[in-house]
Amino acid sequence: MNDSDPSIQLLDTRKILKEKLYRLINEKKGLKFGLTFKAGMKKETEDGVIYREPYFNSKAKTITHPDMINELIMEAE
Protein backbone atom coordinates (compact mmCIF):
# COMPACT_ATOMS: atom_id res chain seq x y z
CA MET A 1 0.00 0.00 0.00
CA ASN A 2 1.27 3.43 -0.94
CA ASP A 3 0.06 6.83 -2.15
CA SER A 4 -1.09 5.25 -5.41
CA ASP A 5 -3.30 2.70 -3.65
CA PRO A 6 -6.98 3.26 -4.67
CA SER A 7 -8.17 2.57 -1.12
CA ILE A 8 -5.96 5.34 0.26
CA GLN A 9 -7.09 7.74 -2.47
CA LEU A 10 -10.75 7.10 -1.62
CA LEU A 11 -10.11 7.67 2.10
CA ASP A 12 -8.30 10.92 1.36
CA THR A 13 -11.10 12.27 -0.81
CA ARG A 14 -13.97 11.12 1.45
CA LYS A 15 -13.66 14.14 3.79
CA ILE A 16 -13.70 16.61 0.89
CA LEU A 17 -16.67 14.84 -0.68
CA LYS A 18 -18.63 14.90 2.59
CA GLU A 19 -18.04 18.64 3.02
CA LYS A 20 -19.20 19.41 -0.53
CA LEU A 21 -22.28 17.21 -0.23
CA TYR A 22 -23.25 18.78 3.12
CA ARG A 23 -22.98 22.25 1.57
CA LEU A 24 -24.99 21.28 -1.51
CA ILE A 25 -27.73 19.46 0.41
CA ASN A 26 -28.25 22.56 2.55
CA GLU A 27 -28.63 24.69 -0.60
CA LYS A 28 -30.96 22.30 -2.40
CA LYS A 29 -33.78 19.98 -1.38
CA GLY A 30 -32.01 16.94 -2.77
CA LEU A 31 -29.35 15.90 -5.23
CA LYS A 32 -27.83 12.96 -7.06
CA PHE A 33 -24.14 12.19 -7.11
CA GLY A 34 -21.82 9.54 -8.44
CA LEU A 35 -18.14 8.76 -7.99
CA THR A 36 -15.67 8.28 -10.82
CA PHE A 37 -12.25 6.79 -10.21
CA LYS A 38 -9.59 7.02 -12.92
CA ALA A 39 -6.78 4.52 -12.55
CA GLY A 40 -3.46 4.46 -14.36
CA MET A 41 -2.45 0.93 -15.28
CA LYS A 42 0.44 -0.59 -17.12
CA LYS A 43 1.08 -4.10 -18.38
CA GLU A 44 4.41 -5.38 -19.57
CA THR A 45 4.23 -7.63 -22.61
CA GLU A 46 6.76 -9.15 -24.97
CA ASP A 47 6.02 -6.29 -27.40
CA GLY A 48 6.53 -3.54 -24.81
CA VAL A 49 4.55 -1.78 -22.14
CA ILE A 50 0.81 -1.08 -22.55
CA TYR A 51 -0.60 1.90 -20.66
CA ARG A 52 -4.33 2.35 -19.94
CA GLU A 53 -6.35 4.79 -17.85
CA PRO A 54 -9.78 3.23 -17.33
CA TYR A 55 -12.61 4.96 -15.48
CA PHE A 56 -14.62 3.17 -12.79
CA ASN A 57 -18.04 4.73 -12.14
CA SER A 58 -20.46 4.16 -9.29
CA LYS A 59 -24.19 4.15 -9.74
CA ALA A 60 -25.93 7.47 -9.08
CA LYS A 61 -27.04 7.95 -5.48
CA THR A 62 -29.86 10.28 -4.37
CA ILE A 63 -29.52 12.32 -1.17
CA THR A 64 -32.48 14.10 0.39
CA HIS A 65 -31.16 14.58 3.93
CA PRO A 66 -27.65 15.18 5.39
CA ASP A 67 -27.93 12.04 7.56
CA MET A 68 -27.79 9.94 4.38
CA ILE A 69 -24.37 11.17 3.21
CA ASN A 70 -22.05 8.77 5.09
CA GLU A 71 -24.00 5.67 4.14
CA LEU A 72 -24.31 6.63 0.46
CA ILE A 73 -20.63 7.49 0.13
CA MET A 74 -19.75 4.02 1.47
CA GLU A 75 -22.16 2.39 -1.01
CA ALA A 76 -20.72 4.38 -3.91
CA GLU A 77 -17.13 3.41 -3.12
Q: What is the pLDDT of residues 14-67, one digit of tens each?
A: 888 888 888 888 888 888 888 888 888 889 999 999 999 999 898 998 998 888
Beta carbons of 36 and 6 less than 8 angstroms apart: no
Beta carbons of 21 and 36 less than 8 angstroms apart: no
Amino acid at 26: N
Which stretches within 3-63 are classed as H helix?
6-27
**Which pLDDT does position 3 carry in this prediction?**
62
How far is Cα 55 from Cα 34, in angstroms, rounded to an integer?
A: 12
18: helix, strand or coil: helix
pLDDT tens-digit series, residues 31-46? 888 888 888 888 999 9
> What are the sequence ranges of the domains in the chain?
6-76
**Which pLDDT does position 1 carry in this prediction?**
45
**Which pLDDT does position 46 carry in this prediction?**
92
How far is Cα 38 from Cα 40, in angstroms, rounded to an integer?
A: 7
